[in-house]
Chain A
Amino acid sequence: MENNNKVQKHTIGVLVENQPGVLSRVAGLFSGRGFNIESLAVAVTNEPGLSRITLVTTGDQHILEQIIKQLNKLINVIKVFDFRETEFVDREMILIKVRAEEQTRAEILRIVDIFRAKVVDVSPHFYTLLITGDDPKISAILELLEQIGITEIARTGKVALARSKKH
């Protein structure tokens, strides 16, 4: 029971019909019922007419249960992937503009190397870096770069897929 009341982050996948207003139905459901959205990523899938939303929300088990039921109730929602009981892989992509002066450039490049990030844009005073990864990796690089001087970031929000069965 204690576990049930714990507020946790959850990742949910939602397969929806690719129609106008669908995202608004999903987003409206969250705001209207007082659920949180931490991040949201939407794009088309390989199946024509279907899009996939990956969203990260917070709540206890009871709230999560309601979120999943309410999502399923939307007419344009084809399937909800509740990742609580399945193993899944998730990644986020992030662009970071970081101040790159003479004395910090080498350090930035070392970090880029360690985290297998990429420099995608260079200007006299800034580097723009691209990194993909899961939560711990992204937090780690952000923490390191913060000390050097991040000026802007853009994150895609997490995308996730269930792991396939091994056998």
Chain B
Amino acid sequence: MRLKGAQIFFECLKKEGVEVVFGFPGGAVIDIYHEFPKHDIRHILVRHEQGAAHMADGYARATGRVGVCLVTSGPGATNTVTGIATAYMDSVPMVIFTGQVPTALIGNDAFQEVDIVGITRPCTKHNYLVKDVNDLARVIKEAFYLARTGRPGPVLIDLPKDVVQATTEFRYPKQIELTGYRPTVEAHMGQVKRAVQMLRKCKKPVIYAGGGVIAAEASEELTKFARLVKAPVTTTLMGLGGFPAVEENPEGKKDLHPQWLGMLGMHGTFRANMAVSNADLLFAVGARFDDRVTGKISGFAPHAKIIHIDVDPTSISKNVMVDIPIVGDCKNALQRFVQAFEEEPIENLDELRAPWFKEIRKWKETHPLAYKQEGEIIKPQFVIEKMYEICHGDAIVTTEVGQNQMWAAQYFHFERPREFISSGGLGTMGYGLPAAIGAQVAFPDRLVIDIAGDGSIQMNIQEVITAVCNGLPVKVAILNNRFLGMVRQWQELFYEKNYCATCLDAAPDFVKIAEAYGAVGLRATRPDEVEPVIREAFAIKKPVLMDFVVAAEEGVYPMVPAGKDISEMLLV
């Protein structure tokens, strides 16, 4: 079958099972767009290419499938870079197609030409410039394979205009031949056995799980394993939902899971940070010892032997030296641990762990997560708790970046993987709304909430119209404190309250913005208005912006100051 490059593009996407492309057209990709109506693949027209990249990312995180976006050359391509870097830092499988000027013009500073392959080399897992239409099908197949296997990540394909116009015989390769790419999936049994021995002997274990558990679909294995060794579990921001934060009690109500410590790190719970600081064994799985997690390296888990499972060998012993490294897929590795402890359970486990859990309970009781909702001013944490209560935790939550993100992580309890979607590594403001739209495309009937701040929502607010015109009823909860709150908090604590450039007093009317876009805008200014606004918003089958006018100078606590041990937390 002889096909044009543009047609091959669609045939390949179909072979990969792609159902939606987030994109924005332009001169270099007009041939691809010319073909689009002939194919049964949904196109979501964004209003800014950064939005397209974050939507593909949100879609990928919500489903586990590869997110796809398509943009034109030059500025279209550069606008996706923040989105690509966001996905790269958080290991999200994505394929980004960028248009390029015709091959004959490459290097000539042609109109809308940019070396996007050069620009994105350090923030993609891999990237390609396709110079010959005969390579196109192979490259697309490789890109999808690279994006979703091993440690997932974004892969970019640059498509010169003449390549998508050229014709060739279409053949989708059956096999992938990448001699330089063989990710280790199976965990080394010898290492697993050593780790099992260590786990049998320990008295104060802590499981520290990261986003790798979610990427590997290993939550069930993690939960089983945690029960078998009766270890408390903490996760990173990226790992939230990888272990159920709550479980149902006999009366059918939800209590915090007794083994759940909450998130650890800079804004982790007191008990999680204290548990890690006092543990004699740290079982790290699918996590990468990020500086926001470890605080001062020398003070991180100082008494613990460390076991570290990760599919990416570069993550192991990068920041913290570990005792037993295990390279492999988290699911595969955890299955081996589960099997070992099912075959030979630890004796007298409850008695053995009783003193450790007693210690943890004490930390939990003396320093729980706390805020005071009193008087006429809404506390941001209260809004999040109310949303959690009203939807019973049955929602996909995305966040922007900053205080809103940390409060969401602290006060919304995640029971299942892929329900908390947030820019962890790069910390990209403006991520939450487009990511929510991407998740809503994947799950049109679910409640999708973007927990936002008044600062970050404005970074991609143009995408409200994308939600409106595609019938995607995302709910945006703006915790409006008239500040760039997280920076303000640092200024308050460490920079003599010099609130330089963090005050956002000059703000748009978010209710009117919502209405202008054809969405619904609601506002709550008093605590008693919070619940009715949330209930109304959740009941509307349209996009809604909720403007919660909250306390201006509330802080996120606990907080580990930069460069301190994680046991040295500032408390409320």
Contact = CB atoms under 8 A, between A and B. Distances in A.
Interface of A: 16-17, 20-21, 24-25, 28, 32, 62, 65-66, 69-70, 72-78
B122 A32 contact: yes
A7 B118 CA distance: 31
A77 B181 CA distance: 8
A25 B121 contact: yes
A17 B122 contact: no
B314 A73 contact: yes
A137 B507 CA distance: 70
B180 A77 contact: yes
Contact of B313 (A16, A28, A72, A77): A72
A62 B316 CA distance: 11
Given A21-B117, A25-B121, A78 B180 contact: yes
Given A75-B146, A75-B180, A78-B180, A66 B314 contact: yes
A74 B118 contact: no
5 contacts: A17-B179, A21-B129, A62-B317, A66-B314, A74-B180
Interface residues of B, number: 18
A69 B310 CA distance: 13
Contacts of A28: 121-122
Contact of A78 (B121, B179, B312): B179
B91 to A, nearest CB: 13
B314 A70 contact: yes
Given A21-B121, A24-B121, A75 B181 contact: yes
A86 B82 CA distance: 42
Given A24-B121, A28-B122, A69 B313 contact: yes
Contacts of B318: 66
Contacts of A25: 121
B447 to A, nearest CB: 38
Nearest to A71: B314
A77 B180 CA distance: 5
B126 interface: yes
The 10 A-B residue pairs with the shortest CB-CB distance, nearest first, are A69-B314, A75-B126, A78-B180, A32-B122, A69-B313, A75-B181, A77-B180, A70-B314, A78-B179, A75-B180
B162 to A, nearest CB: 17
Contact of A17 (B118, B180, B312): B180
Contacts of A20: 129
Interface string B139-173: 00000001000000000000000000000000000
Interface string B310-349: 0011100110010000000000000000000000000000
B445 to A, nearest CB: 38
B178 interface: yes
A74 B122 CA distance: 11
Contacts, number: 37
A55 to B, nearest CB: 17
A124 B313 CA distance: 58
Contacts of B312: 73
Contacts of A72: 313
Interface string B174-207: 0000111100000000000000000000000000
Nearest to A75: B126
A73 B316 CA distance: 13
A27 to B, nearest CB: 10
Contact of B180 (A21, A24, A70, A76): A76
Interface in B112-129: 117-118, 121-122, 125-126, 129
Nearest to B126: A75
A65 B317 contact: yes
B370 to A, nearest CB: 41
Interface string B480-510: 0000000000000000000000000000000
A20 B115 CA distance: 13
A139 to B, nearest CB: 34
Given A25-B121, A72-B313, A76-B180, 17 more contacts: A17-B180, A20-B129, A21-B117, A21-B118, A21-B121, A24-B118, A24-B121, A28-B122, A62-B321, A66-B314, A66-B318, A69-B313, A70-B314, A73-B312, A75-B125, A75-B126, A75-B146
A89 B12 CA distance: 47
B148 to A, nearest CB: 14
A77 B314 CA distance: 15
Nearest to A72: B313
A67 to B, nearest CB: 10
Contacts of A32: 122
Interface string B350-363: 00000000000000
Contacts of A77: 180
A63 B181 CA distance: 22
A32 B121 CA distance: 10
Interface in B94-127: 117-118, 121-122, 125-126
Contacts of A76: 180
A16 to B, nearest CB: 8
Contact of B178 (A16, A62, A66, A75): A75
Nearest to B183: A73
Nearest to A65: B317
